[in-house]
Homo-oligomer: A and B are copies of this chain.
Amino acid sequence: MPGPISPWRVTGTRERRRELKRDAVILAAARAFRARGYHHTSLDDIAALLHVTKPTLYYYVASKEEMLFECFRAGLDRIATACSKARRGTASGREQLIEVVRSYVEAITSDFGWCMVRAEDQDLGPELGARIRQLKSEIDQEIRRLVRAGIADGSIGDCDPKMVAFALAGALNWIPHWYRDNASLPASAIADRFVEVFVHGLAPRREGALPGKSS
């Protein structure tokens, strides 16, 4: 739906143009993968999206694998950035975690969301696959860290940080399975609902919540 990506016919220095085109290739790949799935997308399909032929793609990218990797990275980087930003803040563990969740939802509903989640690192060679697993693991560790921080500062109740991280990441990573950018809530609204559930749980909230521990 977002317009065609055409840095072909565009101005700027050589290097700059090349860079833009390469990005366009990655983005087109991401959209195609999302629409048809990695294995059902041929390079000709991607080339067609750009009104170009297959060998042209290879001028910007070494292999189909590399395209997938770059899509992966594009998404994961956004989340990693959000994590380290949260980390620099001074808010409570819970607040930081919530911030990360918001960024996570933004990233995962982007064009690259699908690739981050549905593409198997099996589809990447051992080389790139390992790098992706590394990135994923870092994010996982970061989430656990935030949960532990929250427990430490009292903003999060006692729980198993590992399982909480899995549950949270699972809920978030699943979004691309049902999210349709036409027909779904905007990312921020989704984030709100998720935060609500994860912070307060399903149990009916008892009245008399406010500060103070009168139960």
Contacts and interface: CB of A to CB of B under 8 A. Distances in A.
B204 A156 contact: yes
Q: Which DSSP category, helix, strand, loop or mixed, fits chain A's interface?
A: helix
Contacts of A91: none
Interface in A166-205: 166-175, 177-178, 185, 190, 193-194, 196-205
Contacts of A215: 206-208
Interface in A140-182: 147, 150, 154-160, 163-164, 166-175, 177-178
Q: How many copies does the complex hold?
A: 2
Interface stretch (A42-50, A81-89, A118-126): A118-126
A213 interface: yes
A157 to B, nearest CB: 4
A202 B199 contact: yes
20 contacts: A37-B120, A37-B122, A39-B123, A118-B120, A156-B203, A158-B204, A159-B196, A159-B197, A166-B175, A167-B194, A167-B198, A170-B171, A170-B172, A171-B171, A171-B174, A173-B177, A174-B174, A199-B201, A199-B202, A201-B202
Given A118-B120, A174-B174, A201-B201, 17 more contacts: A37-B122, A39-B123, A94-B203, A97-B202, A150-B202, A156-B202, A156-B203, A159-B196, A163-B185, A166-B174, A166-B178, A169-B174, A170-B172, A170-B174, A171-B171, A173-B177, A207-B213
